[in-house]
Homo-oligomer: A and B are copies of this chain.
Amino acid sequence: MSVGDAAAKERKILVAVDEGEESMYALTWCLTNVISPNSKDTLILLHAQAPRAAYTALDGTGYLFSTDIMSTMDKYHNDAADRLIEKAKNMCKDHVNDVKVETRVESGDPRDVICEMVQKLGVDVLVMGSHGYGWFKRAFLGSVSNHCAQNVKCPVLIVKKPKSNNLGK
C-alpha cells in the first residue's frame, strides 16, 4: 500500500483454494505479502467444487450407483470442501489477526466459477496458485490460472510454490 492510504482503502481480495499444496502456499504468500496491517481488506476464500454430474452415476460394471451411494459421495465431497475452507480460514487467523475473512463454496468448473465470482463480488485482486485443480484437466483444458488471467478484469496474482518452502526470500 502506498504511504498514507493504507487504512483508507477497502479491497476485496479473492483467493481461489483447492486441495493442492500450491493454493495453500498462494494463500500464505498473499497473507504475508499482500494483506496490509490495519487495512480494511476483505479476504474471500473461494473453493470451486466439481458439480454432481462430474462423477458418473454408473460404476465400472455399468450398474447405476444407488441413491445411498450417490448421497454418500455428495456428503464426502461436501465434507472435503468444508475441511478445506476451514483449514484456509485457520491459516488466515494464524497469519493476520484483523483481516475480515469470507468463505464461499460454489459448484461448477473452477474456470467459470472463479471468473463469475470475481465479476459478481467486484473483486479487486484475484490470487491463485498456478497449477490448481489437477494435472488431468490442465493437460486437456489449459491451466485454470491461465484462463482466469485472460478472462477476469481485475489484477491477477499467480503464485508458484518454490521447491524450497520459503516465502519469497
Contacts and interface: CB of A to CB of B under 8 A. Distances in A.
A57 interface: no
A168 B96 contact: no
B157 A146 contact: no
B160 A158 contact: no
A32 B155 CA distance: 13
Contacts of A130: 149-150
Given A125-B33, A146-B150, A157 B156 contact: yes
Nearest to A4: B37
Interface in A86-113: 95-98
Q: Give the interface SS of chain A, mostly helix, strand, loop or mixed.
A: loop
Stoichiometry, as copies per complex, reads 2
Interface stretch (A5-13, A44-52, A58-66, A73-81): A5-13
A1 interface: yes
A156 B34 CA distance: 13
A84 interface: no
A149 B145 CA distance: 9
A3 B169 CA distance: 17
Contacts of A124: 33, 168-169
Nearest to A98: B3
Contacts of A3: 37, 96-98
Interface of A: 1-6, 9-11, 26, 29, 31-37, 95-98, 124-125, 130, 145-146, 149-150, 153-160, 162, 168-169
